[in-house]
Amino acid sequence: MKSILFEDVLKEKFESLSVGQKKVALYLSQHLEEAAFLTAFHIGRKAEVSETTVIRLTYALGYEGYSDMQAKIQQHLLQSTAFSKTNSKSHLISSDDTDVFSSIIKKQIHILKKLLDHLDSELIWKTADTLIKADQVLIGGYRASYAAACWFSHSLSMLRGNVALCSPAGDFYEKFSSLTPQSVVIVFSLPRYARESLEMAQCAKERGVKLISVTDRLLSPVGRMSDITLTTEEEAETAPNSIASAISLMELIIQGIYILDQKRVLAHQQKLEELYSKKGIFIE
């Protein structure tokens, strides 16, 4: 066999493997350093297959046996380590690039720490309860805020029904027509603040629909008119505006809904899984 990296061999042969062999291949790809020194029996136990399946995988990948495959794994790790050391030396001159990326990550950590320091658990529970009781939830976010709104819409739809996302084209007026006093509108408004977000918030207030905003500060244009204002970067000086903190905050809301309304959430998810399975939505 040609001297190619073990992971490349797995990738090339994966589709032709049996179901059991694929389980071993996935385990190996995720635990390569550990597998380099385990017996076929122990790998089989960890991958939840028989030792025989592990042995058969080695032949399916083109190796002469388990010992041969394990030697190639060890060689792969050595090559990867050597490349990493060589690559780090050759890029010493570009250490400023690493500093730039590190500083961005540190700023994100700074934002999340501020989010933790100012976390209002009571407000999180209140928001979760409000979304559980709503007959409909309409979500909107424009320009820089749209990605966060889209993520939350998908995540909330996994927990309950009657969740709608406004398109970037600005169709919220049409969607407002079916809302009731028991409905909730959620507006994501991160800098730079889009005019459409403000218009959507104003429309909610005019129609007497409860308004929840996800924004960077309490006194942002949308934040100061909301019934519930969830802030992501309050007092996070020098930090860049980012959807990372908004998504982290909304993950707390998702978890709160799951805890408070677990029975209905599980029933909803079961219906979804039945539909996914029937239609073959997912490949794995």
Q: Which of 57-66, 146-155, 252-261 has the lowest mean pLDDT?
A: 57-66
65 pLDDT band, cuts 50/70/90, is confident
* Per-residue pLDDT tens over the stretch 162-221: 999 998 877 788 889 899 999 999 999 998 899 999 999 999 999 999 999 999 888 899
Are 253 and 205 in a shared domain?
yes
Three-class SS of the chain = CCCCCHHHHHHHHHHHCCHHHHHHHHHHHHCHHHHCCCCHHHHHHHHCCCHHHHHHHHHHCCCCCHHHHHHHHHHHHHHHHHHHHHHHHHCHHHHHHHHHHHHHHHHHHHHHHHHHHCCCHHHHHHHHHHHHHCCCEEEEECHHHHHHHHHHHHHHHCCCCCEEECCCCCCHHHHHCCCCCCCEEEEEECCCCCHHHHHHHHHHHHCCCEEEEEECCCCCCCHHHCCEEEECCCCCCCCCCCHHHHHHHHHHHHHHHHHHCHHHHHHHHHHHHHHHHHHCCCCC
Q: Which domain holds residue 128?
A: 119-279
Residue 46 reports pLDDT greater than 80: yes
Say if residue 126 is in the same domain as residue 211: yes
- My answer on whether 125 and 219 are in the same domain is yes
State the average pLDDT over residues 127-140.
97
Query: What pLDDT is recorded for position 157?
Result: 96
Task: Give how many domains the chain has, as a whole number.
Answer: 2
The model's pTM is 0.67
Q: What is the CATH number of the domain that holds 193?
A: 3.40.50.10490
> CA-to-CA distance for 244 and 55, rounded, in angstroms?
44
Q: Has residue 179 been placed in a domain?
A: yes
Q: Where is average pLDDT lowest: 26-40, 72-86, 117-131, 134-148?
A: 72-86
pLDDT at 90: 47
> Is 98 a member of any domain?
no
> Can you give the pLDDT at residue 72?
82
Predicted pLDDT of residue 195: 93
Tokens of 111: 């934002």
* Rounded Cα–Cα distance for residues 60 and 52 (Å): 12
189 bridge partner residues? 215
Q: How many residues does the chain have?
A: 284
**What's the rounded Cα separation, in Å, for the pair 186 and 149?**
9
Q: Are residues 183 and 83 in the same domain?
A: no
For residue range 89-100, list pLDDT tens digits in order.
444 445 556 677
Tokens, residue 166 = 């406004």
Most confident of 52-66, 84-98, 236-250: 52-66
Q: Is 97 among the domain residues?
A: no
| 1 confidence band (pLDDT: 50, 70, 90) | very low
Q: Residue 68: inside a domain, yes or no?
A: yes
**Residues 152 and 248 reside in one and the same domain:** yes
- Residue 283 has, within 13 A of its CA and on its CB side, a CA count of 1
Within this chain, do residues 159 and 213 fall inside the same structural domain, yes or no?
yes
